[in-house]
Amino acid sequence: MTLTIQNVSENPAYNVSIVRVLDERRVPLDPKQWEDKLELDRMTTLAPREKHRLCTLKDQALRESLMTRGGSIEVSYFSRRGEWQTLPLVFVGGQLLIVTGEGLPPGILLRTFESVSSTWTFLRLRRRFQKKRKA
Protein backbone atom coordinates (compact mmCIF):
# COMPACT_ATOMS: atom_id res chain seq x y z
CA MET A 1 0.00 0.00 0.00
CA THR A 2 1.36 3.41 -0.96
CA LEU A 3 0.58 6.69 0.77
CA THR A 4 0.73 9.78 -1.44
CA ILE A 5 0.72 13.33 -0.13
CA GLN A 6 -0.41 16.45 -1.97
CA ASN A 7 0.33 20.03 -1.05
CA VAL A 8 -3.06 21.79 -1.31
CA SER A 9 -1.60 25.09 -0.09
CA GLU A 10 -0.38 27.99 -2.19
CA ASN A 11 2.97 27.76 -0.34
CA PRO A 12 5.71 25.16 -0.70
CA ALA A 13 6.51 22.71 2.08
CA TYR A 14 10.14 21.89 2.84
CA ASN A 15 11.80 18.73 4.25
CA VAL A 16 8.60 16.68 4.25
CA SER A 17 9.09 13.37 6.05
CA ILE A 18 7.50 10.87 8.42
CA VAL A 19 8.72 11.49 11.96
CA ARG A 20 6.58 9.16 14.11
CA VAL A 21 4.32 6.17 13.79
CA LEU A 22 1.80 5.73 16.61
CA ASP A 23 -0.17 2.63 17.52
CA GLU A 24 -3.89 2.50 18.30
CA ARG A 25 -3.25 3.74 21.86
CA ARG A 26 -1.37 6.79 20.43
CA VAL A 27 1.92 5.45 21.82
CA PRO A 28 4.86 6.15 19.51
CA LEU A 29 6.58 3.09 18.12
CA ASP A 30 10.34 2.89 18.33
CA PRO A 31 11.82 3.98 14.96
CA LYS A 32 13.76 0.70 14.86
CA GLN A 33 10.40 -1.09 14.74
CA TRP A 34 8.98 0.79 11.75
CA GLU A 35 11.88 2.11 9.66
CA ASP A 36 12.47 -1.24 7.93
CA LYS A 37 8.70 -1.82 7.53
CA LEU A 38 8.16 1.41 5.60
CA GLU A 39 9.84 2.43 2.40
CA LEU A 40 10.27 6.15 3.06
CA ASP A 41 10.58 8.95 0.53
CA ARG A 42 12.03 12.19 1.83
CA MET A 43 11.23 15.33 -0.08
CA THR A 44 13.31 18.48 0.04
CA THR A 45 10.48 20.58 -1.44
CA LEU A 46 6.83 19.87 -2.11
CA ALA A 47 5.63 22.61 -4.41
CA PRO A 48 2.06 23.97 -4.31
CA ARG A 49 -0.46 21.51 -5.81
CA GLU A 50 2.28 18.88 -6.23
CA LYS A 51 1.75 15.21 -5.32
CA HIS A 52 4.51 12.91 -4.14
CA ARG A 53 4.78 9.41 -2.70
CA LEU A 54 5.22 9.65 1.06
CA CYS A 55 5.86 5.99 1.84
CA THR A 56 5.00 2.42 1.02
CA LEU A 57 3.78 0.12 3.79
CA LYS A 58 5.72 -3.12 3.23
CA ASP A 59 4.75 -4.94 6.44
CA GLN A 60 1.28 -6.51 6.66
CA ALA A 61 1.16 -6.30 10.48
CA LEU A 62 1.97 -2.57 10.48
CA ARG A 63 -0.56 -1.96 7.70
CA GLU A 64 -3.24 -3.77 9.71
CA SER A 65 -2.31 -1.87 12.87
CA LEU A 66 -2.68 1.44 11.06
CA MET A 67 -5.73 0.71 8.93
CA THR A 68 -8.02 -1.40 11.10
CA ARG A 69 -6.97 -0.60 14.66
CA GLY A 70 -6.69 3.20 14.36
CA GLY A 71 -2.97 3.89 14.28
CA SER A 72 -1.53 7.12 12.92
CA ILE A 73 1.48 8.58 11.16
CA GLU A 74 2.94 12.02 11.85
CA VAL A 75 4.39 13.93 8.93
CA SER A 76 6.59 16.94 9.59
CA TYR A 77 7.57 19.80 7.33
CA PHE A 78 8.82 23.37 7.39
CA SER A 79 6.68 26.21 6.10
CA ARG A 80 7.86 29.02 3.88
CA ARG A 81 8.56 31.11 7.01
CA GLY A 82 10.72 28.34 8.47
CA GLU A 83 8.15 27.21 11.05
CA TRP A 84 8.20 23.52 11.91
CA GLN A 85 4.75 21.93 11.53
CA THR A 86 3.32 18.44 11.92
CA LEU A 87 0.40 16.84 10.16
CA PRO A 88 -1.12 13.77 11.85
CA LEU A 89 -2.58 11.19 9.47
CA VAL A 90 -5.09 9.13 11.47
CA PHE A 91 -6.78 6.01 10.12
CA VAL A 92 -10.35 5.47 11.34
CA GLY A 93 -12.24 2.41 10.14
CA GLY A 94 -9.86 1.94 7.23
CA GLN A 95 -10.32 5.54 6.08
CA LEU A 96 -7.74 8.29 6.32
CA LEU A 97 -8.57 11.29 8.49
CA ILE A 98 -6.23 14.27 8.31
CA VAL A 99 -6.12 16.32 11.50
CA THR A 100 -4.90 19.86 11.04
CA GLY A 101 -3.71 21.94 13.94
CA GLU A 102 -4.46 25.53 14.74
CA GLY A 103 -1.57 27.71 13.71
CA LEU A 104 -0.43 31.01 15.10
CA PRO A 105 -2.03 34.11 13.61
CA PRO A 106 0.19 35.98 11.17
CA GLY A 107 1.97 39.13 12.25
CA ILE A 108 4.94 39.00 14.56
CA LEU A 109 4.45 42.59 15.73
CA LEU A 110 0.88 41.97 16.90
CA ARG A 111 1.90 38.84 18.84
CA THR A 112 4.88 40.68 20.34
CA PHE A 113 2.67 43.62 21.36
CA GLU A 114 0.16 41.25 22.99
CA SER A 115 2.94 39.49 24.91
CA VAL A 116 4.45 42.76 26.12
CA SER A 117 1.00 44.08 27.09
CA SER A 118 0.17 40.92 29.07
CA THR A 119 3.55 41.01 30.84
CA TRP A 120 3.13 44.70 31.70
CA THR A 121 -0.36 44.08 33.12
CA PHE A 122 0.93 41.15 35.20
CA LEU A 123 3.77 43.26 36.65
CA ARG A 124 1.42 46.16 37.51
CA LEU A 125 -1.02 43.83 39.30
CA ARG A 126 1.80 42.14 41.14
CA ARG A 127 3.07 45.49 42.47
CA ARG A 128 -0.44 46.44 43.60
CA PHE A 129 -0.88 43.25 45.58
CA GLN A 130 2.56 43.63 47.15
CA LYS A 131 1.69 47.21 48.28
CA LYS A 132 -1.60 46.02 49.79
CA ARG A 133 0.17 43.27 51.75
CA LYS A 134 2.61 45.78 53.29
CA ALA A 135 -0.17 48.15 54.30
Whole-number mean pLDDT of the chain? 79
Give pLDDT tens digits for 20-36. 888 777 788 888 877 77
Using 50, 70 and 90 to split pLDDT, how confident is the model at 103? low
For range 46-61, the mean pLDDT: 85
Give the Å distances, CA to CA, from 103 to 60, 100, 127, 128.
Answer: 35, 9, 34, 35
- Percent of the chain having pLDDT more than 90? 0
For range 1-19, the mean pLDDT: 86
Q: What is the Rg, in whole angstroms, of the alpha carbon atoms belonging to the chain?
A: 22
Assess whether pLDDT exceeds 80 at residue 76.
yes
Tell me the pTM: 0.64
Q: What is the DSSP letter of 68?
A: T
Give pLDDT tens digits for 86-95. 888 887 776 6
